[in-house]
Amino acid sequence: MTDAPAVRPTSGLPPDSTPHLEQLRSDLDTLGRRIRELTETAYSSDRTVGATVGGHGELRELVLDPRIYRTTDSAALAATIRDTITRATDAASASLFELIGPMLPERPAGELAPGDRAPRSVRAGVDGVIR
């Protein structure tokens, strides 16, 4: 019985593609690190609420100024917190787009512009590769 030949990850690719693949891997490692390090912060208009989110849109910090206790309107406070987190998440999405944009193929006009939220399928694909 003979052993099957080892399958190399680059089998079927031209021999000169190895440097390109190594550069691509290095670029993806750098991109992943930059996404993990990415943060964006937004503040409410009265600066009583501050929210910082990460490159995957996760809330990393929420700062509430003691002035929020001067009113008992919990619905207004909740809306302010929600809106502030949304603005921070939108800023993080725009920054993420700037990071990954150069690696994406050209897109037809009007598809995904900076500041737009990426479709869930794209975010899931990026999350699966980058994390």
- Domain borders along the chain are 47-130
Q: What is the pLDDT along the chain (131 residues), one digit of tens a residue?
A: 555 555 455 556 676 777 778 888 888 888 889 999 999 999 999 999 999 999 988 999 999 999 999 999 999 999 999 999 999 999 999 999 888 887 777 766 556 555 555 554 444 444 444 44
pLDDT computed for residue 41 by the predictor: 97
What is the rounded CA–CA span in Å between residue 121 and residue 87? Answer: 22
Percent helix, strand and coil across the chain, each to the nearest 5: 55, 15, 35
List, for residues 61-88, the tens digit of each pLDDT value: 999 999 999 999 999 999 999 999 999 9
Q: Where do we find the tokens 């037809």?
A: 108
Residue 24 · residue 13 · CB < 8 Å: no
- Token pair in block for residue 44: 């409410």
What is the rounded CA–CA span in Å between residue 97 and residue 93? Answer: 6
